[in-house]
Chain A
Amino acid sequence: MIQPAKPDLVTVNIDGQEIAVPKGTNVIEAARLVNVDVPHYCYHPKLSVAGNCRMCLIEMGLPAVDPATKAPVMDPATGKQKINWIPRPQIGCGTNVSPGLHIRTTSPMVKEAREGVMEFLLVNHPLDCPICDQAGECKLQEQATAYGRGYSRYIEEKNVKPKRTQLGPRVTLDDERCVLCSRCIRFSREVAKDDVLGFIDRGSHSTLTCFPGRQLENNYSLNTVDICPVGALTSTDFRFKMRVWFLKQTNSLDPESSAGANTTVWSREGVIYRITPRRNDEVNDTWMADSGRVLYKQVRTDTRLTAAKVRGASATLAAAVSAAAELLRAGGVAIVGSGRSTVEEQFLTRQLAAALGGVSINLVSRVGAGDGLLVSADRNPNVRGALVTGLVSALPSAQLAGLGAEIDAGRVRTVLAIGEDLAAAGLTAAQLAKVSVVCLGTHANPTSAAAQVLIPTLTVFEKSGTFVNQQFRLQKFAAAVPGPAGTTDDLAVLGQLVAALGGPAAADLAGVWTRLAAAVPALATVTFANLPETGLLLDPTPYAALPFVEGAGLHHSPAKA
């Protein structure tokens, strides 16, 4: 018997299991809540419903009522209200739940319908799985196994369509593999707002293509590759690089801006092969920008720093740390922290400043144009982390002009640069030459060249930590690959520096979080382990007066529009 539901909930019966779901949920999503898989190609939870693949056919019925009296018609055999089953299958994606809706996903009619759809989809499919990059994460492969008939009756010539078409600088199209689900078309139109894709020709000759003279070249083009259920759209960068089943997935974040898109880093044996978005309905839905997907290339470059140096000579980490501590103890210190550092590193930077006492702390600002989606104007992923941890109380200024003046005046004799290039941040070569530079960095740059003490550290893909994004959402990421030999985790380096300067002893990530929770009231209940994968929203009101540079983006509107 259908239980009376809450006003905004609708109780439905899926394969005999009753569940209350919000109004407006479609059958695929409702079935997912009771762990019933309704196979589909064209339906995507973040796009409009097209209903053209016909794979999600289900059998549905409604409780019978007497047409005249509106009284429930009872089934004498079961003693329950009779269900009037619709004699033809319906699509699950386009059917929203209604009170008392009954769904069958395993009936013979549904099974037959799925087998029919699969057979038609495979009629012209080239079956070049051995050379297809989608193999292993292909819905057609999975659903042919789970719902197909298992053999082919097709003996005619298969349809021939263009292969290896370059749709844009980053996307390769194989039209023979396309199942015409139109997800990519809808994504371009609805999310990327760059309507460049469409179908031409008719029937089995239908072909996906760009409008004449246009290319799929917007900064979100690779999302079409992610949502393509088959191997029609593939990434040119990832093409034939590695089979997906070898790759280890690590939850990470897109560090290119304060939007903080959730990502998955795919690596094998310490080598990163690709980065894809990870679903977070509060931040990035299922999307990310193309520009964030190539950032893994910075991990293995010739310019990576791999040896600690003291005055140009190679040194051990311990020697470099003690040399740095000696320079810092001499006084006249300015710290250049980074909006790219993790919350934990920024907290240790604050402890370092406290241990030194009376030093100026600068952050380097990076402002670009926001695209209104997932690349925000603030290209530092974690400026808000510096605010939350109390490293700084104001937003970073455009250039380090104040620090330059201090150096010129001779008040600053040592600069500690944490992951920042001072030359790029506005200091001149003459100013760099006047001071002793202690540099923690990943790649060779003018600062690392000028550094008295150089300690190589890790990129965001090689360490674990947290960022606070533009919504003040604290999100964590994990190390995907180990750092190259000779590098040290920033957290360990900063911890050892703090300890060398008389602060608390160095600790691991969990240990730093214990101190962080004790020192920062907003993070009092947080540990790295209990931080949810979808992030934790912090209270932004203490910072409401600050002039943040971000404009409106996906799931973000500036506090004062």
Chain B
Amino acid sequence: MAVIPLTRKPLSLVERTYVPAILSGLKTTFKRMFRPNDTLEYPEQRPAIPPGYRGVPTLVKDPNGREKCVSCQLCEFVCPPKAIRITPGTVPEGSGREHVEKAPQAFDIDMLRCIYCGLCQEVCPEEAIFLQNQYSLSGYTREELVNHKDRLYELGGTLPDSHYKWDKKKAAAEAGPAH
């Protein structure tokens, strides 16, 4: 490989004073000083989350504050890293929700395993599990990073519902012919 020696052009007198270079640098400095910031002062300031963002999976309640999950365990089945673990249970008679029959006794999502793929939300037939805006989570122990049922509902809150499937079923059962 041939080596081509380059000769650097010698600096002129003005260049050797460095004044034009300093001034041009200061120009940028002053321009930036009076422009709005590009950065956020995290964590006091939080970014706006775009729609469709896949944050921490949560369990949601319907607008009447009722549990939507019926512990069908499809999310547990579909979860690629096996982060979800559900213990199904029976809705007791006389609770006013016995027509739903089934609800989770325990619902754990191991956030150390979760890969935020959103398959659980996609597969849920009751629209009970959603990956919402929560993106930052931390803890000191592994146990802290397993979200239990109460924590999942706390994170999830209430989302609007257009179906009220179980209310419709109950109304139909009450209006239906007696057997």
Q: In the bound complex, do residue A130 and residue B173 qualify as a contact, i.e. CB atoms below 8 Å apart?
A: no
Sample of 12 further A-B pairs with CB below 8 A, known A131-B70, A160-B173, A164-B98? A130-B74, A130-B102, A157-B172, A162-B179, A163-B101, A175-B179, A205-B177, A207-B179, A239-B90, A240-B90, A242-B73, A242-B88
Q: Is A291 an interface residue (CB 8 A)?
A: no
- Alpha-carbon distance between A159 and B176 when the two chains are bound, in angstroms: 7
A interface residues, Cβ below 8 angstroms from B: 126, 128-131, 135, 157-164, 175, 201, 205, 207, 239-243, 245-246
Q: In the bound complex, do residue A240 and residue B102 qualify as a contact, i.e. CB atoms below 8 Å apart?
A: yes
Chain B residues within an 8 Å CB radius of A205: 177, 179
Q: In the bound complex, do residue B77 and residue A243 qualify as a contact, i.e. CB atoms below 8 Å apart?
A: yes
Contacts A131-B100, A157-B172, A240-B89 given; indicate if A245 touches B77 (C-beta within 8 A): yes
Number of cross-chain contacts by CB at 8 Å? 56
- Alpha-carbon distance between A207 and B175 when the two chains are bound, in angstroms: 18
Interchain nearest-CB distance for B170 vs A (Å): 10
Chain A residues within an 8 Å CB radius of B173: 160, 163
Q: In the bound complex, do residue B88 and residue A241 qualify as a contact, i.e. CB atoms below 8 Å apart?
A: yes
Q: In the bound complex, do residue B101 and residue A164 qualify as a contact, i.e. CB atoms below 8 Å apart?
A: yes
Interface size class of B (residues with CB under 8 A): 20 to 34
- Alpha-carbon distance between A135 and B125 when the two chains are bound, in angstroms: 13
Chain A residues within an 8 Å CB radius of B169: 126
Q: Which residue of B lies closest to A157 (CB)?
A: B172
Q: In the bound complex, do residue B176 and residue A130 qualify as a contact, i.e. CB atoms below 8 Å apart?
A: no
Q: Is B126 an interface residue (CB 8 A)?
A: yes
Chain B residues within an 8 Å CB radius of A239: 90
Identify whether the interface residues of A are mostly helix, strand, loop, or mixed: loop
Chain B residues within an 8 Å CB radius of A131: 70, 72, 100-102
Chain A residues within an 8 Å CB radius of B175: 160
Residue in A161, A163, A201 whose CB lies within 8 Å of B99:
A163
B interface residues, Cβ below 8 angstroms from A: 70-74, 76-77, 88-90, 98-102, 125-126, 169, 172-173, 175-177, 179
Residue in B72, B89, B98, B177 whose CB lies within 8 Å of A243:
B72
Interchain nearest-CB distance for A166 vs B (Å): 11
Q: In the bound complex, do residue B179 and residue A243 qualify as a contact, i.e. CB atoms below 8 Å apart?
A: no
Contacts A130-B70, A240-B102, A246-B73 given; indicate if A161 touches B125 (C-beta within 8 A): no
Q: In the bound complex, do residue B88 and residue A130 qualify as a contact, i.e. CB atoms below 8 Å apart?
A: no
Q: Which of A128, A242, A245 has the most CB of B within 10 A?
A: A128
Chain A residues within an 8 Å CB radius of B177: 160, 205
- Alpha-carbon distance between A239 and B77 when the two chains are bound, in angstroms: 18
Q: Which residue of A lies closest to B73 (CB)?
A: A243
- Alpha-carbon distance between A207 and B177 when the two chains are bound, in angstroms: 13
- Alpha-carbon distance between A245 and B90 when the two chains are bound, in angstroms: 19
Chain B residues within an 8 Å CB radius of A243: 72-73, 77, 88
Q: Which residue of A lies closest to B124 (CB)?
A: A130
Chain A residues within an 8 Å CB radius of B76: 246
Q: Which of A163, A201, A205 has the most CB of B within 10 A?
A: A163
